[in-house]
Structures are given as C-alpha cells and as structure tokens.
Chain A
Amino acid sequence: MNTTTAPVSLREHVVPVEAGAHVVGAHWLGSTLALALADGRVLRWTDSVSDQVEAHAGGILCACGDAERLMTGGDDGRVVALTADGGPAELARDEKRRWIDAVTLSPSGSLAWNTGRTVHARDDKGRVTSLDLASTPQGLVFAPKGYRLAIGQMNGVSLWYPATQTKPEFLDWKGSHLDVVWSPDGRFVVSSMQENALHGWRLGEKPSHMRMTGYPAKPRSLSWSHDGLWLASSGADAAIVLPGRRPTGQGAARMRRPPRQGHPRRLPPQGAGPRGRL
C-alpha cells in the first residue's frame, strides 16, 4: 500500500512566467517556450527573456505545434504559424471569419483545421483539400505515419485520407466524441466523449471497440507515454493511466490489465472510479 506522506515539492525549481491572459496552449520550440493566449497574443519565453506577438485579431481558440513552429487557430477565422524568432505567418484565412476550433499538425508537416462543419487538410506541399461533415468536427489528429486524419464528431470518428477522393471510414459509436488521439504505433484510435468516457478502436479489417467509462468528469486531456505503452487521462481526481499495448508479444494480456491511478492519496471510492479496458 502507498503511504500518505506529503508530496515532494519541486516549487523552488519553478520560474514564474507572467502571461497575462488565459493560456490556451503551451508549446516548446527548441529552448523557446511559446504560450498561445486567449486574447490573441503569443508570448515567447527563452530563459526568462520574453517577447510577444499579436498573432490574431481576435482570440486564440486552439493551438498545436511541432519542433519548429506553433500553429494557432482563432475566432478571426485565421490559422497562423509562428517560429521561435520570426513574425507570424498566415497559413489560412476563412473569408467568412468562421471560428477555427481545432488545428493539428502531422509529424511530416501536414496540417488540418476546421471552419464550421468543414475540415481542411494541407499537405506538406501546400495542397489543400476539404471535407464536409454532417456535424461540427471536434478533435482532429493525424495518424503517426501517412497522410490520414482522424476527426472526432457526433456518433463516431471519421478516418479520412485527404489525398484521395474516397469516402472516409467511419468508426461509429453513439454519442458526442470530443478529443481524439492516435496511438504511436498507429493501431489504436481513442476519443474522449461528452458522457465522461473514453472510447477506443483497434483498427483493422473489422475495428473492435474498447470502452472506458465511469469518469467523474470529462477526460479532456489525453497523452501517450513516451514508449506508447500507457495512455494518461484527466477527468478524475487521479490521473488515470491505462495500459496500452506492447509493440510485440504479451499485448493482449497487457491490454486486459486494469487501469492504474497515479494519485495514491485520493483514490475514488470502490466502484466509483473509471473502469473498463483499453
């Protein structure tokens, strides 16, 4: 059993940064920290020296990034990229100034965003293709390899190859799907749901379902561990860490292990915590 000793404090190792507005996204560009702020600014911080850029005419709604750039979407209908030292570069602009609710980048530099019910994808050569959906898309995420986009929406997740004309594959599960993550090995797609649950699919000829219900709140933040074996989730007083799948061998056994809770002092009452398997 875990003892209830006070947590070790790392507070003395924290350098405060005054951002001055709701922080929508935090992203490292090498040794420069970029903070996307709800008032439309991006604050860049490098070893306690900071500057700020007026990236959007309105507020920033979403942000993502890769090693070189931060990408933001705003309520001014623009998608803007920013590097550690340059000025903002406009990547897309919606003529009707529809809000950009979601942006995402692929490892190879492709990007995707939405305007209303339409999803747009831009490949690494700058070609843009668009897809109209029946419901407003929520989370967007590219597959770890290849030009394929997962789109969380009402009653399921669409898997779209933007470079082809083929109809997207639809992974259906009743309910509203919010954020979507793709496992680093490309074999699993997991979405967070409006009804305080995660839903996952093992991809393949016949995708199989994985359910994870019973969160006290919405698990809106999901992240894979560096080795891809664990998926950490918010939505409870504890950080719920789900055993992912080993790349080889023993996979099935590991997937059946119960979720692990990373907050030993605040375990929810028996039966009240998330349950299920991924």
Chain B
Amino acid sequence: MIRLTDASELLVRPALRGSGITAFAWDKGGKRLAFGTEDGAAGVLTLPTA
C-alpha cells in the first residue's frame, strides 16, 4: 500500500508464492481494506487510528 501524499510504503501482506492477490476492495468509509488471493486466503485490514 502506498500513501499518495508522501509515497510512503506500508506493508499489508508479504508476498507469498502461489498466493498472489487476486481481488481487493476498500469499504465505503475508506477505513477497511479487504483482499483475497489465488489460493483462498483472504483478510481484512482495519487502518489503525493515529
């Protein structure tokens, strides 16, 4: 994940062989990011509040 304002890089999920990201979506409020992979693993990131 990249923050557009300063191009800082944020790791949500490390790269795993055979488990590439195939889908992801932000919720409407932009607080949660869901992702899914080719081997059936998925997850939900909830952005920490500063």
Binds B, one of A10-18, A88-96, A247-255: A10-18
A24 at the interface (CB under 8 A from B): yes
Other-chain contact of B11, A8, A17, A37, A260 (Cβ < 8 Å): A8
Chain A interface SS verdict (over half): strand
In the bound complex, what is the Cα–Cα distance between A14 and B41 (angstroms)? 12
Interface string of A62-83 (1 = CB under 8 A from B): 0100010000000000000000
Taking CB atoms and an 8 Å cut-off, the chain B residues in 10-50 that contact chain A are 10-14, 22-28, 30, 32, 34-48
- B42 contacts A262, CB within 8 Å? no
Q: Which of B2, B10, B27, B36 has the most CB of A within 10 A?
A: B36
- A13 contacts B2, CB within 8 Å? no
A26 to chain B minimum Cβ distance, whole angstroms, is: 4
In the bound complex, what is the Cα–Cα distance between A14 and B39 (angstroms)? 18
A184 to chain B minimum Cβ distance, whole angstroms, is: 15
In the bound complex, what is the Cα–Cα distance between A262 and B5 (angstroms)? 10
A86 at the interface (CB under 8 A from B): no
Which residues of A sit under 8 angstroms from B43, Cβ to Cβ? 14-17
A147 at the interface (CB under 8 A from B): no
Interface string of A237-253 (1 = CB under 8 A from B): 00101000000000000
Q: Which of B11, B23, B27, B37 has the most CB of A within 10 A?
A: B23
Binds B, one of A27-35, A124-132, A171-179, A187-195: A27-35
In the bound complex, what is the Cα–Cα distance between A263 and B7 (angstroms)? 8
Residue of B with least CB distance to A23: B36
With A19-B41, A20-B40, A23-B42 as contacts: A8 and B25 at CB distance below 8 Å: no
- B25 contacts A22, CB within 8 Å? no
In the bound complex, what is the Cα–Cα distance between A63 and B24 (angstroms)? 12
On chain B, the number of residues with a Cβ less than 8 Å from chain A's Cβ atoms is 35
Which residues of B sit under 8 angstroms from A270, Cβ to Cβ? none
- A19 contacts B36, CB within 8 Å? yes
- A30 contacts B28, CB within 8 Å? yes
A52 at the interface (CB under 8 A from B): no
Other-chain contact of A10, B1, B30, B40 (Cβ < 8 Å): B1
A225 at the interface (CB under 8 A from B): yes
Which residues of A sit under 8 angstroms from B41, Cβ to Cβ? 16-19
- A8 contacts B44, CB within 8 Å? no
A271 at the interface (CB under 8 A from B): no
Residue of B with least CB distance to A7: B9
Residue of B with least CB distance to A266: B9
In the bound complex, what is the Cα–Cα distance between A8 and B47 (angstroms)? 12
Other-chain contact of B23, A14, A35, A225, A230 (Cβ < 8 Å): A35
Q: 18 A-B residue contacts at CB 8 Å?
A: A2-B7, A10-B47, A11-B14, A13-B48, A15-B43, A15-B44, A19-B42, A22-B40, A23-B22, A23-B35, A23-B40, A24-B36, A26-B24, A26-B25, A28-B25, A35-B34, A262-B7, A263-B2
